[in-house]
Amino acid sequence: MKPKILASLILAILALANPVDARQIIRMAIADLNYRDAFEAVAKEYMELHPDVDVRIQIISVGGYATWIRTALAGGMQTAPDIYNFNFGSGFYESGKAINLQPYLDSENPYTGKRWRDSFNPQYLRMLAEGSDYPQIPLNYIEIGIFYNQEIFDKLGLEVPQTWEEFMDACQVIKDAGIIPIAMPGDKEGYWGGVVGWVVRLFTDAWFYDVVPEIMARPGDFIFEPDVDADFEVDFEDPFNDLLVNLSPERRIQAILDGRLAFDGPRMRELYTYLRDFSNYWQRGFHGADPMGVYNLFLSQRAAMMFNASQAVLVLERDIGRLRPDEQFEWGAFHPPPVTSSEIVRTRFRGVGAPLPVFGIIRKSREQNDRAADFLMFLTSPEMGRLILDVCTEVEEPIIGPFAMVDVPLDEEMDAKFRPFLGHGREKLEIRGLEDEQESVWRWSTLAQDYMADRMTLDQFLESYQRLMVQAIPRVIKRFDLDMDPTTRDNNGTLLGELTDLLDQVASGAVVTPDRDALWGFLEEQLIAQARRIVRHESGPFDYTLQETVPIVVVESNARFEEAVNSAERIARENNRQFLVVVQLGGRSAPLRYKVMNYRPSFDEVIAGLSGDRYSREELRRIFR
């Protein structure tokens, strides 16, 4: 047998012995261990519908997820998952590493026959918007509440309190009876990402509710939406009043610099006085208590109440059912009642929960992104929502809270258990750290522990709190790519990433655009599909403008490229443009090429230009140093 024929035969035999798996792979990496079995069941259902697809669910520990996902992305697209927990990927979307899901949300979900966005509670979906973009979608909604022992309440003649003052009176009655009124976890995690931190957010929302107009978008701001922002007025009776209002991080920072938003002023002073008084009814040594220890105090009936999140509903049902009959008890839950004894607080406590878990898609090829979005559409269909619930119930793992999807049927008893956690609106300002920047939240948690443990006075705490929030300003500016000009678009990494992805396709030869009209048609079709607005100009210095932010100039010859760059750059600067893209059309001898220019002020320039009525530039330089 000839060597060539023999080699071919050997290769054929090896191929039969080790067939190449040609299936398309979708990788989903999550930190939600309680959903592992449920998501694997959903993946199995999906793969039965799509035999050519292999869905791989990977569980990463909560504590290590943020580091893991950054390492995975640093290793390139081959090591990065397609779907990830968005809340652990701070800055991914702003830098262009994750995609805008709005085009998919506006398209039909093939598993429901309606728009994908119509699968979700619109309020929960809106909470996840970043301007007009939607980089993430939700599965459940988590909210905080007060769980109470019905039998202890009945024995002491107590009813669910209707005001904060009644709540404090009830706590005193319980304390006088020798029972812990309310158990709270006071370890560092309890302040940073746990129950104490959530309670502080409840308080700050109530005390600062009417500050929203100070930092919301105004006419001329890039994020200003006339239908939402133009006629907004604070309504103390409507907990959802400001849900849709656009807040400007730049205006929030300026309000701090001007002293209009103060963390050492009378609002914070009264708020933390109320909070300290409330802590008198927590268990002794609460600063050493972790969530499990607090949970056991309630389960063993040594504590009459506990603050906890909606994820505890099914866990508590399960664990009470495992107790001896004489140890079991009836329980209920209620939302914290409103403060009526303060002249500052004029509204009730609202919710501080959020859609969770939330998922985003890492930017890869269009085909791979489409594939990942299709799986998320399947995952968030009502039928799969019910499957997730059934599997979690079977393996005795909790769901985090009510489903963020509509039309997921719940039985009457479960619906009643979740009902106290719904309908309370949601905080708007989220004041602990600055713009939820986690270093400032972490530093606040250390200060708050010291204050609540009497290791510092209220004056010392407030002074330190104000300073750490000012110190967080440079980090927030860097994270969100702010230029401190509310009229310009920020977070442009994703926008430029989408445009350069398309130009790279043309430059590589994957797409042929022989002339201006062909290039325009390609860009228009693709960008509109990504929910971007691109405008063609018949005259003027620029050929196209993307999202009112990125002007594009097209030239046809290599000889004119540098000339066009210099000319367009001058015009861009004269027109106060912050970006410019110059494209040279390709031909047989030269492929398309482009150049992206960024005229936005540098981070150092933005920081150097900061000042306000309360802080001069010199004072800020000393604080930032």
146, 306 contact by CB (below 8 A) = yes
Joined together, the tokens standing for residue 594 give 């482009």
What does the pLDDT read at residue 233?
A: 92
348 lies in the same domain as 360: no
Compute the distance between CA of residue 341 and CA of residue 443 in angstroms, rounded to an integer.
31
What does the pLDDT read at residue 334?
A: 96
The answer to which of 174-183, 376-385, 475-484 has the lowest mean pLDDT is 475-484
Helix (H, G, I), strand (E, B) or coil at 594: strand
Residue 615, domain member (yes or no): no
Terminus-to-terminus CA distance in the chain, angstroms? 79
User: Residue 580: which pLDDT band, with cuts at 50, 70 and 90?
Assistant: very high
Instruction: Specify the CATH number for the domain of residue 516.
Output: 3.40.1350
pTM: 0.83
530 lies in the same domain as 573: yes
User: Residue 474: which pLDDT band, with cuts at 50, 70 and 90?
Assistant: very high
What does the pLDDT read at residue 589?
A: 62
User: Residue 576: which pLDDT band, with cuts at 50, 70 and 90?
Assistant: confident
Domain span at 287: 144-352+422-480
What does the pLDDT read at residue 587?
A: 66
Residue 378, domain member (yes or no): yes
Instruction: Specify the CATH number for the domain of residue 160.
Output: 3.40.190.10
Residue 610, domain member (yes or no): no
DSSP state of 163: S
Compute the distance between CA of residue 222 and CA of residue 571 in angstroms, rounded to an integer.
21
Nearest to 214 by CA among 425, 429, 427: 429
Q: Would you say residue 158 has pLDDT above 90?
A: yes
Instruction: Note the pLDDT tens digit of each residue in 287-329.
Output: 989 999 999 999 999 999 999 999 899 899 989 999 999 999 9
172 lies in the same domain as 238: yes
Q: Would you say residue 78 has pLDDT above 80?
A: no
Instruction: Note the pLDDT tens digit of each residue in 205-217.
Output: 999 999 999 999 9
Compute the distance between CA of residue 459 and CA of residue 462 in angstroms, rounded to an integer.
5
136 lies in the same domain as 150: no
94 lies in the same domain as 28: yes
- Mean pLDDT, the chain, whole residue set: 90
What's the distance, CA 326 to chain centroid? 44
Question: What's the average model confidence in pLDDT over 62-89?
Answer: 87
Compute the distance between CA of residue 91 and CA of residue 480 in angstroms, rounded to an integer.
7
User: Residue 253: which pLDDT band, with cuts at 50, 70 and 90?
Assistant: very high
Share of the chain above pLDDT 70, in %: 96
28 lies in the same domain as 104: yes
213 lies in the same domain as 181: yes
135 lies in the same domain as 157: no
Domain count for the chain, please give it: 3
36 lies in the same domain as 119: yes
Q: Give helix 36-49 / helix 382-394 axis angle, nearest 10°.
A: 140
DSSP state of 47: H
27 lies in the same domain as 156: no
311 lies in the same domain as 164: yes
Share of the chain above pLDDT 90, in %: 66
322 lies in the same domain as 268: yes
Residue 7, domain member (yes or no): no
Q: Would you say residue 9 has pLDDT above 70?
A: no
Q: Final residue of a domain: which of 458, 480, 502?
A: 480
Residue 314, domain member (yes or no): yes
Residue 575, domain member (yes or no): yes
Residue 296, domain member (yes or no): yes
User: Residue 7: which pLDDT band, with cuts at 50, 70 and 90?
Assistant: very low
User: Residue 515: which pLDDT band, with cuts at 50, 70 and 90?
Assistant: confident
Q: Would you say residue 400 has pLDDT above 80?
A: yes
Nearest to 247 by CA among 431, 496, 92, 403: 431
